């Protein structure tokens, strides 16, 4: 312990707070959760916490706590194990939840809310920009609800906190610091769910103030354009809910391995954050240049998986322009195929020139083709991939959304896929004839 905290023993070091007193403020809720969780029903706890040594060095500790209870349920003792994993922390980006938060930290209009209903909350930077309170000054409690103008929303949130309802999905007016002259229109989605014997929560808060203002201007000048923008924002919100459905599917499939669930969500969350950021900076949602999105997605994936030393090479016909409703599932399909290649194609870390290649081009006036392949070890049985793989089920569901067709390619080296999909297809937008 004294080697970990970089000091010698002192007379006051009689209790386990020798570690917990050094925990950085951001991780204090984890310690509170740890101490509150221990019971005869839950007598073990594990997490990664960060401490600041007396010399100011930040260290990452893999923490395990065990408690013993007597027959009456009274606690007898604690046993703690602490392992310094600071040297390896860069390999897995610290805690798994950081995968999720990092996908949103550059977005000022959309925030990810992890455990918003508990003391162990963690929010992406966008939340603090929306409420206009610096992260270091923010105190998380129910008082923030008082700044919501709509009484019915305030009541629903209190019901959610008390466990009377399982989710909230609404639009609200937020008075920044209680100032009615500084209002923001926000979309809020929070869901409660049970994992093991604990209740958790996850959600999204989106600042749609500017979008709403633009909608109002377009209503006054051009009703048709307003309807189109409303439809696009509705679809983006729906895609967040689709993402949440993927999370529920994987929770059922990989319930014993929550880290795998969070790893799989990493690229999807990053792509949706990218999609949102670009959506808020454009006025044309029907003819979006695909190449811009794919190259930005490549850069995001390259940064997320730098340690894997995999090169992403892409050729995208710069003449391809698609609507947001096609680009969104397409990006998620590419995420799933790419994640599969990253996990399985290169078991030999020393392999040189590890590459994931993709090409998107026209094959006729209204049909596009995606070829995605790697130069890895390949797969022995395409049938097993197709018939017994949750990721493939997700890919097929997304392919169906864009009226596409996907197949596994026969290659001498590596694994490849071919996806064909129409550039446009009939879709009736509410309000248009």
pLDDT at residue number 100: 63
From the options 3.40.50.1240, 3.30.450.20, 3.30.70.360, 3.10.310.30, give the CATH code of 95-256.
Answer: 3.30.450.20
Tell me whether the CATH fold assigned to 2-91 matches the one assigned to 95-256.
yes
pLDDT at residue number 42: 62
Q: Which CATH class is domain 2-91?
A: alpha beta
Q: For 159-175, b where at least 16 C-beta lie within 10 A, e where not — what string?
A: ebbeeeeeebeeebebe
- Give the chain's mean pLDDT: 80
pLDDT at residue number 91: 45
Q: What is the mean pLDDT of residues 404-411?
A: 92
H/E stretch holding 66: strand 58-69
Fold of 284-433: Heat Shock Protein 90 (3.30.565)
Q: What is the mean pLDDT of residues 397-415?
A: 91
pLDDT at residue number 431: 46
pLDDT at residue number 430: 46
Three-state DSSP at 341 gives helix
pLDDT at residue number 69: 77
In this prediction, what percent of the chain has a pLDDT beyond 90?
A: 27
- More reliable by pLDDT, 268 or 160: 160
- Residue 116 CA to its chain's centroid (Å): 14
Per-residue pLDDT of 140-162, as tens digits, reads 888 899 999 999 999 999 999 99
Q: For 81-107, b where at least 16 C-beta lie within 10 A, e where not — what string?
A: ebebeeeebeebbbbbbbbbbbbbeeb
Q: What is the mean pLDDT of residues 302-324?
A: 87
Residue spans of the domains in the chain: they are 2-91, 95-256, 284-433
Q: What is the mean pLDDT of residues 39-58?
A: 79
Whether 172 and 207 have beta carbons less than 8 Å apart is answered as no
pTM of this structure: 0.45
In this prediction, what percent of the chain has a pLDDT beyond 70?
A: 73
In this predicted structure, the answer to whether residue 11 has a pLDDT above a threshold of 60 is: yes
To which residue do tokens 């599969």 refer? Answer: 340
What's the pLDDT band for 425 if we cut at 50, 70, 90?
Answer: low
């Amino acid at each position: 312990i004294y080697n970990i905290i970089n000091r010698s023993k002192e007379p006051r070091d009689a209790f386990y707070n020798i570690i917990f007193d050094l925990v950085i403020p951001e991780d204090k809720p984890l310690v509170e959760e740890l101490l509150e969780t221990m019971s005869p029903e839950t007598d073990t706890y594990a997490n990664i916490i960060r401490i600041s040594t007396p010399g100011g060095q930040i260290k990452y500790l893999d923490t395990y706590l065990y408690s013993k209870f007597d027959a009456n349920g009274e606690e007898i003792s604690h046993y703690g194990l602490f392992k310094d994993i600071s040297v390896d922390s860069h390999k897995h980006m610290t805690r798994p939840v950081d995968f999720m938060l990092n996908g949103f930290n550059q977005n000022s209009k959309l925030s990810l809310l992890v455990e918003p209903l508990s003391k162990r909350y963690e929010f992406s930077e966008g939340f603090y920009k929306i409420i206009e309170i610096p992260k270091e000054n923010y105190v998380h409690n129910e008082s923030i609800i008082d700044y919501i103008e709509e009484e019915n929303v305030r009541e629903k949130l209190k019901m959610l906190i008390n466990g009377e309802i399982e989710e909230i999905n609404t639009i609200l007016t937020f008075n920044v610091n209680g100032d009615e002259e500084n209002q923001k229109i926000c979309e809020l989605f929070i869901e409660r769910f049970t994992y093991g014997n604990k209740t958790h929560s996850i959600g999204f808060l989106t600042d749609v103030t500017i979008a709403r203002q633009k909608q109002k201007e377009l209503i006054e000048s051009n009703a048709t354009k307003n309807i189109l923008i409303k439809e696009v924002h509705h679809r983006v919100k729906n895609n967040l809910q689709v993402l949440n459905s993927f999370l529920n599917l994987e929770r059922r499939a990989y319930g014993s391995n929550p880290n795998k669930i969070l790893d799989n969500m990493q690229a999807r969350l990053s792509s949706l954050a990218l999609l949102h950021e670009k959506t808020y900076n454009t006025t044309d949602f029907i003819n979006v240049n695909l190449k811009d999105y794919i190259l930005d997605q490549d850069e995001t994936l390259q940064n997320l998986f730098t340690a894997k030393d995999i090169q992403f090479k892409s050729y995208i016909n710069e003449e391809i322009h698609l609507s947001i409703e096609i680009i969104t599932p397409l990006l998620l399909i590419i995420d799933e195929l790419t994640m599969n290649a990253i996990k399985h194609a290169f078991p030999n870390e020393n392999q040189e020139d590890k590459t994931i290649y993709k090409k998107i081009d026209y094959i006729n006036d209204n049909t596009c083709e995606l070829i995605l392949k790697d130069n890895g070890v390949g797969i022995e049985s395409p049938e097993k991939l197709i018939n017994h793989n949750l990721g493939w089920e997700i890919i097929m569901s997304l392919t169906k959304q864009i009226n596409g067709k996907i197949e596994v390619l026969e290659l001498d080296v590596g694994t490849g896929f071919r996806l064909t999909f129409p550039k446009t297809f009939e879709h009736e937008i509410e309000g248009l004839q």
